[in-house]
Structure 1
Amino acid sequence: MSKYDIPKSKGYYVLFINVGKACRITTRSGKKFNIKPGIYVYLGSAFGRGGLYSRIMRHLRKRKKLFWHIDYLLTCKQVEIIEYLTIECSKNKCIDYESFISRTLTNMFEPIKGFGCSDKPKDTSHLFYCGRSMHRCKSLIEKILANTNSKL
């Protein structure tokens, strides 16, 4: 996983996160989340200035202004991004992969209800607990994306 591999274009991304120790977070809006140890999948979009590169690099930094739910999780001890996937596309020329994957994963993995999806009320979550197997998590996401003809 290298910063040189991150495209500068806009699109969607999937973060694979290892939580080594239980973490309790409280967001700026007062929402509380209890996060147990294991592998998680986080879904996001990057259509602002700097695109995927800027957004993923922000997530990889330990020091940052806390804004999104994911920022609070990533500041916990023993929490790290171990891999990521990107889907390059312009907002009006592709499906909403963030919601598509979210709705698919809701039936497969344990959603952390209300996490990271306040801008998309039809989504249950944008963070999913998928157990202890990184390989299982990643291969499932890749299968979902392969069925949509997306370019990883």
Structure 2
Amino acid sequence: MAKSGSTIPSAATGPEGGPARTYQLLIEVAAPVRVAVGRLGEFEFAAGLYCYTGSALRNFEARIRRHLSPAKKMHWHIDYLLAAPGVRIREVRRFGEGECPVNRRTAGGIPVPGFGASDCSAGCGSHLKRVG
């Protein structure tokens, strides 16, 4: 079950002052966990920190609240990871720019090719990165 962390401000503006449209979830995986990620397949996630980059042009804060909620229909790749035991959101970051530029400048390795990047046309490879 995903649980919220302590550093999750609720503001619909990005640090740049404009409206937020991209978010990053800093996710903690407490122990290795095997997760079936929809049609993408089944994957082993090592214990550590992960960063997921997503966006919402409408209902931005509602999208973040949905990610923080433990009860939801599995729709996006990230839903499957967040529903796994020992997985929680530690922090939510908001940005006023597009998700691919934010994702590309986030350092880290790609644990699952294609994760969260079904509609990515910038060649990111994945919108989930292992960052620690």
Q: Which has the higher contact order (CA 8 A, sep 6+)?
A: 2
1:14 paired with 2:24, answer yes
Return the offset for 1:33: 2.3
CA RMSD of aligned residues (A): 2.0
1:128 paired with 2:129, answer yes
Return the offset for 1:14: 0.7
Gaps spanning 5+ residues in structure 1: where? 89-94, 132-152
1:48-87 correspondence runs (5 A): 48=58, 50-51=59-60, 53-87=61-95
**In structure 1, what is the equivalent of residue 110 of structure 2?**
111
Gaps spanning 5+ residues in structure 2: where? 1-5, 14-18
Give the Cα separation in 2 of the matches to 1:36 and 1:130.
Answer: 11
SS in structure 2 of the partner of residue 76 of structure 1: coil
Q: Larger Rg: 1 or 2?
A: 1
From 18, 29, 37, give the equivalent of 2:39.
29
Return the offset for 1:119: 0.5
Q: If the length of structure 1 is used for normalisation, what is the TM-score? A: 0.70
Query: Identity of paired residues, percent?
Result: 33
From 51, 56, 72, give the equivalent of 1:41.
51
Higher-helix-fraction structure: 1
**In structure 2, what is the equivalent of residue 99 of structure 1?**
100
